């Protein structure tokens, strides 16, 4: 794995602009080189500004939506129209505003148990990528991730069994310590680490300690984002100045 790229943005708005521009460039490259763009969207609140910028004409028109396939890094076990749903966030901020075919959007199923939803999503990944579910993990062109102030990413929480789920592509994850306290479904490290590009979006002073720990090589058991080490892909950290206060200090 190559060293991660860390870009410190002056503020969250600039972070969103840089993330949206990186998304567009990655999408253009993927479609040019392979004829399709496979991306896993991040949940939580930080990505909302980025999704809204992607929905604007100046960027949306640069994306080949018919060749773009949108998945989710994780989901809360709530209905798809629930305000806590990561799919609902993406639909409101981006999907309803761009001409992506419904068939190209793959929400994580939350109308069954978390374990059943995880199993179903793994089958969806295999089908959409055209790969064998027993084979190598599906290679996303881009995975967007957030960082919790406990160092979790997607729904990989400190000390959780999901951190050891290395034989599956998706798994159920009990509620973390952070809100909302609902069961979750998450992509696992094998899928995250098969990505061609992983981009973390991190804003806010409350993330500073976890960010510093992850970049200084903390244990994934304590700071699960530290376990995202793509075998061949690159990792980019887009962080705002508030989250970066602890970096570069001994």
- Site for ligand 6PG, rule CB under 6 A: 42-46, 73-74, 76, 86, 146-148, 152-155
Q: Based on CB atoms, which residue is closest to ligand 6PG, 98 or 192?
A: 192
Per-residue 3-state assignment (H helix, E strand, C coil) for 99-144:
CCCHHHECCCCCCCCHHHHHHHHHHHHHHHHCCCCCCCCCCCCEEE
44 or 137: CB nearest ligand 6PG: 44
CB of 61 to ligand 6PG, least distance (A): 27
Q: Which residue is nearest to ligand 6PG (CB)?
A: 146
Which long-range contacts (C-beta less than 8 Å, at least 24 apart) are formed by 155-161?
Answer: 155/74, 155/75, 155/184, 155/185, 155/186, 156/186, 156/188, 156/189, 156/224, 156/225, 156/227, 157/224, 158/221, 158/222, 158/223, 158/224, 159/221, 159/222, 160/224
Shortest reach from residue 213's CB to ligand 6PG, in Å: 15
Q: Give the length of the chain.
A: 250
Between 101 and 181, CB nearer to ligand 6PG: 181
Least distance in angstroms from the C-beta of 242 to ligand 6PG: 12
Smallest distance, ligand 6PG to C-beta of residue 172, A: 13
Nearer Cβ to ligand 6PG (2/206): 206
Using alpha carbons, list the distances in angstroms from residue 126 to 21, 91, 137, 244.
Answer: 29, 23, 8, 37
| Identity of the residue, 59 or 152, whose beta carbon is nearer to ligand 6PG in the bound complex | 152
Nearest approach, Cβ of residue 179 and ligand 6PG (Å) = 9
Min dist CB 152 to ligand 6PG, Å, is: 6
Residue 146 or 233 with smaller CB distance to ligand 6PG: 146
Distance CA 23, CA 68 (A): 12
CB atoms within 10 A of CB 150: 18
């Amino acid at each position: 794995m190559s060293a991660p790229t860390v870009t410190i943005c002056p503020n969250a708005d600039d972070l969103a602009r840089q993330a949206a521009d990186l998304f567009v460039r990655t999408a253009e490259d993927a479609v040019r080189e392979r004829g399709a763009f496979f991306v896993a969207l991040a949940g939580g609140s930080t990505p909302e500004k980025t999704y809204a910028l992607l929905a604007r004409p100046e960027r949306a028109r640069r994306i080949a939506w018919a060749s773009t396939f949108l998945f989710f890094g994780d989901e809360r076990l709530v209905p798809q129209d629930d305000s806590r749903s990561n799919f609902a966030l993406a639909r409101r901020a981006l999907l309803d505003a761009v001409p992506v075919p419904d068939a190209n959007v793959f929400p994580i199923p939350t109308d069954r148990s978390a374990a059943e939803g995880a199993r179903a999503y793994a089958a969806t990944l295999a089908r959409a990528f055209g790969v064998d579910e027993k084979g190598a993990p599906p290679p996303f062109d881009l995975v967007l991730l957030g960082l919790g102030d406990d160092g979790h990413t997607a729904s990989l929480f400190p000390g959780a069994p999901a951190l050891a789920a290395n034989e599956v592509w998706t798994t159920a994850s009990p509620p973390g310590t952070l809100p909302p306290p609902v069961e979750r479904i998450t992509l696992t490290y094998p899928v995250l680490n098969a990505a061609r590009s992983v981009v973390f979006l991190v804003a806010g002073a409350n993330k500073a300690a976890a960010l510093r720990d992850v970049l200084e090589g903390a244990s994934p058991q304590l700071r699960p984002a530290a376990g995202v080490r793509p075998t061949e892909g690159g990792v980019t950290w887009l962080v705002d100045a508030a989250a970066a206060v602890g970096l570069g200090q001994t």
